[in-house]
Structure 1
Amino acid sequence: MLGLAASALTLAAVTALVAGFVRGLAGFGLSVVMVPVLALTIAPKEAVLVGNVSLFLIGLTDIGRVRREADRSAIPVTLLAIACMPLGLWALVALSADWARLLIALVSLGAFVLVVIPLGRIAMPRHPAMGLSGFFTGFFGGFAGMPGPGMAPFYLRGRLPPREARASMMAIFLVLTPLSSALFIALGVGGWREVALALLLFPAVLAGDLLGHAAFGRVTARQWQVSVALVLGTAAAGAVWKLLVG
């Protein structure tokens, strides 16, 4: 089916379930989990498109939550991200694989460090922090299909309640992912085969997302912060591994 062996589809479905759970709990992380595994069986650029379409589909289920709980900061961050996304797409097409791996590793590590350093040690005025978040969200979303590391430090360090921070990140994903997917298809980076694969995997993503939402309702603010840090740490570790092994 879709040119993939049954074993590859089974692995993709299990990965989609886990990725959905991470996204439901942390508010992001679906692509962090899904894209590297899919890239083992399809081209990395095509895996990014599958991740983007999956993020958009699951985002449609959270429109009500986003309208109730998202912070207004999501609006300027989203607008900045939209403006910067073409730069990330250009880098994806133009840079060599070695430079791409280095850039992904640096951004992933930077996001992880910003989250795990004690909150009182580093402070940046809100508007510059928002600007940097919008830039890296758009650039990293276009470049690697993973806008989460760009926005997560801002929403964790902004001291919003976890429910509002999580909904704000979901709101940004909901706007960015269809635009990113459309640009990918227009540039010939993937096509309708990847859209079909995302649709096929959606039930597994949805089931995992529902489990993640249920788990979110049972964790404290500190436990949520730790879960977000673990997602970013996983992304950073994977990026460094790819950089080292080539």
Structure 2
Amino acid sequence: MELIAGFSLLQIAVALTATFAAAFVRGLAGFGMAILMVPVLALALTPVEAVLVTNFVALFLGLSEMRWILKQAERSAWTLGALVLLSTAPGLILLAATPAALARLLIALVALSAFAAVLLPQRGAAVPGRLTTGLTGVATGLLTGFAGMPGPPVVPYYVGRDIPRHTAKASMLLIFTIAAFAGLGSGLAISALEWRLLGLALLLFPVVIIGNWLGAKAFGKVSDTVWRSFTGLVLFAAAAAALIKLAGG
């Protein structure tokens, strides 16, 4: 098959499809892009490549929305972001040392955990205590490095509280942008970052912009119950598809 930026046409087709769907969910819900992209990309690329390509795309998109994010985000997002910077590298080192088949299985299970997190009942609006915040930040960094998925710990931290939807979305996006930067920096530090991955990310970025824009158009036009249920369903479908593919060999 003809190669583009070092990848086959089949790999690129899988990446484009996964990226568009993931970007739409991200625009609608404020989370879910990495949780959707990484399990699917990891079926066509190596797990490390899938994580790093997703980090590139998430960083580009976050920077493009930074003015709105900084205006709306809760202060706690900076605390979580600092912890993510400290704990991402160990997660990526663990991923690089894990056999590819096992890593794909673990990444799919992480996606399933995100589906469960979306279904948790909402709590009050108060910011969680230092212990909860600390554990959330460290877990977010570890999952950013190992699975390219900062979402599972962060989603219940914000979506599970009774705070304005714009605040929750902006806070999560700020953390995801920091996590993407940390993931790429860690990849460069351990010599796992190949510049052909940047080429693939740039190829995917226009699709990300379109998908995210369409999702953002729907944001605020559906009820809280509908958008939580929709996102949970898509997350479950992505994780289940990855598990079925793994089970089939």
The TM-score normalised by the length of structure 1 is 0.86
Residues in 1 aligned to 2:19 and 2:242: alpha-carbon distance in whole angstroms: 20
Percent identity of the aligned residues? 42
Letter in 2 for 1:216: F
**d(CA) in 1 for partners of 2:24, 2:236:** 17
1:185 is aligned to 188
1:140 aligned partner: 143
Letter in 2 for 1:60: L
Summarize the Cα distance change of 1:106–1:4 in structure 2 as closer, same or farther, 3 Å threshold: closer
- Are the structure 2 counterparts of residues 191 and 224 from structure 1 closer, same or farther at C-alpha, using a change threshold of 3 Å? same
In structure 2, what is the Cα distance between the partners aligned to 1:227 and 1:80? 30
169-178 or 107-116, larger mean C-alpha shift? 107-116
Using the size of structure 2 for normalisation, the TM-score is 0.85
8 Å CA contact 2:46–2:100 kept in 1: the answer is: no
User: Is residue 217 from structure 1 mapped to residue 220 from structure 2 by the alignment?
Assistant: yes
Q: Measure how far apart 1:37 and its partner are.
A: 3.0
| 8 A contact 1:26–1:227 mirrored in 2 | no
Structure 2: gaps of 5 or more residues = none
| Residues 226-241 of structure 1 mapped to structure 2, 5 A cutoff | 226-234=229-237, 236-238=239-241, 240-241=243-244
**2:211 counterpart residue number:** 208
Structural mapping, 1:162-201, within 5 Å: 162-201=165-204
User: Residues 113-169 of structure 1: CA distance to partner in whole angstroms, max 9, x if unpaired?
Assistant: 34313346xxx9543332222122111000011111121111121222211111111
Count of matched residue positions in the alignment of Structure 1 and Structure 2: 244
CA shift for structure 1 position 235: 5.2
Matched, 1:17 2:20: yes
**Preserved contact between residue 149 and residue 232 of structure 1 (Cα < 8 Å):** no
Distance in structure 2 (CA, Å) of the matches to 1:43 and 1:211: 29
Alignment root-mean-square deviation, CA: 2.6
Q: Give the unaligned 5+ runs of structure 1.
A: none
Q: Which amino acid aligns with 2:62?
A: G
Change (3 A) 1:216 1:143: same
On the 8 A contact 1:161/1:221 being kept in 2, the answer is no
- Please give the alpha-carbon distance, in whole angstroms, between the structure 2 residues aligned to 1:184 and 1:131: 23
What are the within-5 Å matches in structure 2 for residues 1-246 of structure 1?
Answer: 1-97=4-100, 100-101=103-104, 103-104=106-107, 107-119=110-122, 125-234=128-237, 236-238=239-241, 240-241=243-244, 244-245=247-248
